[in-house]
């Protein structure tokens, strides 16, 4: 059998694993939704849960922004992934000053 030499690392395993992980968490969040909660995907962050007010209006009370990443190692607040997510959350706050947010990393 001839050996074939690749020109670069073309393994998509980590990318596919990340997508599958996000889909699994999305299904979990969907199953766990309460009556006053809505699920939005890829709107603010990867998963948003909107908690509606008790009144009959369609105004949201709180929005939980969840950034989903599958990592093989622990991250810290100084890691680039954390800093990027915190900056993104700050931008959401600046663009939506009238909203109440909770950020999950």
Residue 73, domain member (yes or no) = yes
* Mean pLDDT calculated for residue range 3-15: 83
Name the pTM for this structure.
0.76
Which residue segment(s) compose the domain that 53 sits in? 13-104
Whole-number Å distance between alpha carbons of 63 and 50: 5
Residue 2, domain member (yes or no) = no
pLDDT greater at residue 39 or residue 70: 39
Q: Give me the number of domains the chain comprises.
A: 1
Residue 7, domain member (yes or no) = no
Whole-number Å distance between alpha carbons of 93 and 20: 29
SS3 category, 51: strand
* Mean pLDDT calculated for residue range 67-77: 87
Residue 41, domain member (yes or no) = yes
Residue 3, domain member (yes or no) = no
Residue 4, domain member (yes or no) = no
pLDDT value at 82 more than 80: yes
Contact assessment for residue 81 and residue 72, using Cβ atoms and an 8 Å cutoff = no
* Mean pLDDT calculated for residue range 13-34: 95
Residue 30, domain member (yes or no) = yes
Length of the chain: 105
Residue 17, domain member (yes or no) = yes
- CB neighbours of residue 77 within 10 Å: 8
């Amino acid at each position: 059998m001839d050996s074939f030499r690749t020109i670069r690392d073309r393994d998509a395993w980590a990318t596919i694993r990340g997508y599958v992980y996000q889909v699994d968490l999305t299904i979990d969040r969907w199953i766990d939704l309460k009556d006053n909660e809505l699920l939005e995907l890829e709107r603010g962050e990867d998963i948003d849960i909107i908690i509606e007010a008790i009144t009959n209006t369609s105004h949201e009370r709180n929005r939980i922004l969840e950034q989903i990443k599958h990592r093989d190692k622990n991250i810290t607040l100084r890691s680039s992934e954390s800093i990027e997510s915190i900056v993104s959350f700050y931008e959401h706050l600046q663009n939506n000053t009238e909203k109440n947010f909770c950020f999950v990393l």
